[in-house]
Amino acid sequence: MGDDNEKTVTAFCQAIEGGDIEEILGFFADGAVYHNMPMEPAVGADAIRALLGMFVSGPGSVGFEVLAMASAGDVVFTERVDRLTFGGREVELPVAGVFEVRDGKITAWRDYFDMAAFTG
């Protein structure tokens, strides 16, 4: 199961770069939670669409470089460098991401990063 969950997360990270918000949302289970830990969580498809839409479907771009991945049961851990371009600004953000995957769908996604690196 770990390999299947890791494949789901890998495909999800690749879909982020494609910028198709509907394809990206297709990876989430109903009622999923996306939580950038320095901010409030986004719960459900509409909230996740609104949050991700600011980054993936606007005039900028997003790229996830996965440096390491490991899984245990339904949990997949990633160490990434997220590269974001928006508002004429480029940001390289070290991120530790934790995904919970059940039946091929992401039920929870938590990203841990330094907000000062994002806003600075």
How many angstroms separate the CA atoms of 71 and 86, rounded? Answer: 31
103 carries an active-site annotation: no
**Cα angle value 48/92/81 (rounded, 5°):** 70
Q: How close are the terminal C-alpha atoms of the chain, in Å?
A: 39
111 carries an active-site annotation: yes
Name the active-site residue from 30, 82, 103, 114. 82
Residues tagged active-site: 82, 111
